[in-house]
Amino acid sequence: MWEQIRDNQTRSVVLVTAMGIMLLLLGSFLGQALLGDWAFGLILALLIWIVMTLVGYFQGDSILLSLSNARKIGPDDMPRIYNVVEEMKIASGLEKMPDIYIVDDPALNAFATGRDKNHTSLAVTSGLLQKLNRDELQGVVGHELAHMRNRDVLLMAMCSVLLGTIVIIAWYGSRILFFAGGTRRSSSGGGSAQIIILLAAVVFMILAPIMAQLIYLAISRKREYLADASSALYTRYPEGLASALEKIAASTEQLKSANNATAPMFIINPFRKGGRAAEDLTSTHPPISERIRILRAMAGNISLAGYEAAYNQAHKGGGGVIPQSALVSGDASAGQAGTAVTPDEKERAREASDVLWKLHNYREVTCDCGLKFKIPPDFQGGSFTCPRCNTTHTL
Amino acid sequence: MWIAILVIIGIAIVLVLIIAGIYNGLVGARNQVKNAWAQIDVQLKRRHDLIPNLVETVKGYMQHERGTLEAVTNARTMAVKAVDSGVAAQAKAEGELSQALGRLFAVAENYPDLKASQNFMALQEELTSTENKISFARQFYNDSVMQYNNKIQMFPSNIIASIGNFKAGESFEVTDTVEREAPKVSFS
């Protein structure tokens, strides 16, 4: 059942190689146009790429988590989310429990990071914890763990580093070319060959980032469908993820801490315009309405083959998302685990905010009259009086 | 002459590599089955550990539900005893325990004080989640067993499996017919 990972990896390697060649070509053309030296440009581009990849590999997850202001939680801070993640960890067969982070943001979103199976983290927004019930949360967490299981996380991180390098080189190359390149050409007199190379470099500078972006999108969208299919397979309950996606789509909050490079790591595109469902070639994620439709269409036949059939129904013709080799085996038994108690939305909101208070080192004091106080960490003075019953509490 | 020998040696090397690959695949699949079983075990153990706590918490609130509580305690004892008695027997005992717990939680609906207790709520979250974990672990185990058994029975890996003495795995089925039905709750 897990063979699709290998199939996907070969396809991704081809696409990544294409992006890498694009980068090297861009580097050598720029080198020739600016300095008259192919090799120098090539080596410089390669060096920049290697440095950025190393930084991305070792620091990528911590950079991403600190950029989004995520805070790590333990099993006792919020048992519900911890349990849901552990359930999905077991269902997906991951070896290590991922670290769980909470992002203090009313937007509904989640993302996964990590360079290998021993360094994985999952971040969810507090809005998500508040709005989704247990089944829906399970679907979303299953989707993110599927990204980890399918090794999408590292690949997407490396791809975005590559894309970033191409964009940066093209940007600086164009500045240098327009300002310094002009003076150089007039002094050396210039020949027709020089002009052709210059033109080629300019064309390449414009095309490379666009091409790289399209390749990047092709990789990430396929992987979103595959993660949806895997999530349905883990939970044996596609309706959970479908209704979670519905709630996420209906929400108009935008995630504050997201940028273009990190977009594919989220469960839905953080930049979609409020209320707009249809998206085109230039999106990292498939249209959310379509993802919901496919998940709902597979009801009753919960397996990768079932998802494939539903996907083909939605897209008449065209290759499917699940590689053939993965379709031969697959357990179609639909058995849902016992449903747990989920607090209603108001209680969930309180629960989520309590966790955030605690993570910001606020102390909680409960008065005998039932009033709860959150004491800030820099509170001066050793005592305070309850405004309802006038009891004095000493800290 | 030399070419013929080289070709034969080449074919032999390729054959050895293919056989080694299939053998390693079989060992990997068997280890995954073992590992998946260990996951189920961990969760079953956790459930056994949680139940005395639950019974202790609930006792004070439910004076009139002696029978339900005893059923849970007995089912737990049986399940603990069944730990080393094979997959089928263990599955049966655990199925009965799940059922007894389901009845207890159904009865708890009639006791608002109990339902509001923080301790009970935390225990209920832990137990239902453990129940979920058990069924997810079972699901992963059964998938792993199916994958392993497919390898053992399909050509050409079945040849190597029979030489290497790989035995088919047993899936963890809920054999108890009662657990497959929805629990009946009576309010008499």
Domain with A172 in it? 4-327
CB contact under 8 A, B135 and A341: no
Q: How confident is the model at residue A95 (pLDDT cuts 50, 70, 90)?
A: confident
Output the CA angle A101-A106-A107, nearest 5 degrees: 85
Q: Does A139 reside within a domain?
A: yes
Q: Do both A260 and A372 map to the same domain?
A: no
Q: Does A349 reside within a domain?
A: no
Q: Does A206 reside within a domain?
A: yes
In 3D, which of B51, B179, B171, B53 has the Cα closest to residue A337? Answer: B179
Give CA–CA dist A238/A297, Å, rounded.
9
Q: Do both A284 and A227 map to the same domain?
A: yes
CB contact under 8 A, B135 and A335: yes
Q: Does A347 reside within a domain?
A: no
CB contact under 8 A, A93 and B146: no
Q: Do both A299 and A164 map to the same domain?
A: yes
Give CA–CA dist A263/A244, Å, rounded.
19
Q: Do both A55 and A139 map to the same domain?
A: yes
Instruction: Map out the domains of chain B as residue ranges.
Output: 2-174
Q: Does A243 reside within a domain?
A: yes
Give CA–CA dist B60/B181, Å, rounded.
31
Contacts of B140 in chain A (CB under 8 A): 90-93
Q: Residues B68-126: pLDDT tens digits? A: 888 888 999 888 888 777 777 888 888 888 888 888 888 888 888 887 788 888 888 88
Interface of A with B in 73-132 (CB under 8 A): 79-80, 83-84, 86-88, 90-93
In 3D, which of B176, B151, B175 has the Cα closest to residue B164? Answer: B151
Q: How confident is the model at residue A84 (pLDDT cuts 50, 70, 90)?
A: very high
pLDDT above 70: residue B168: yes
Q: Is the pTM of this model over 0.90?
A: no
Give CA–CA dist B124/A205, Å, rounded.
60
pLDDT above 50: residue B180: no
Tokens, residue A29 = 């053309």
Q: Do both A282 and A151 map to the same domain?
A: yes
Q: Does A245 reside within a domain?
A: yes
Residue after which a domain boundary falls, among A304, A327, A350: A327
Q: Do both A209 and A318 map to the same domain?
A: yes
Q: Which residue has the tokens 């950029």?
A: A67
CB contact under 8 A, A80 and B36: no
Q: Does A351 reside within a domain?
A: no
Q: What's the number of CA atoms in the CB half-sphere (13 Å) around residue A175?
A: 5
Respond yes or no: is residue A144 known to be catalytic: yes
Q: Which of A292-301, B68-77, B130-139 has the lowest mean pLDDT?
A: A292-301
CATH of domain B2-174: 1.20.1440.20
Q: How confident is the model at residue B187 (pLDDT cuts 50, 70, 90)?
A: low
- Cβ neighbourhood burial of A90 (10 Å; 0-12, 13-18, 19+): buried
Q: Does A333 reside within a domain?
A: no
Q: How confident is the model at residue A37 (pLDDT cuts 50, 70, 90)?
A: confident
Q: Do both A62 and A15 map to the same domain?
A: yes
Active-site position among A144, A224, A239, A308? A144
Q: Do both A291 and A371 map to the same domain?
A: no
DSSP state of B185: -
Among B34, B47, B139, most A C-beta atoms within 10 A, so best to mutate, is B139
Q: Do both A120 and A251 map to the same domain?
A: yes
Please state the domain count of chain A.
2
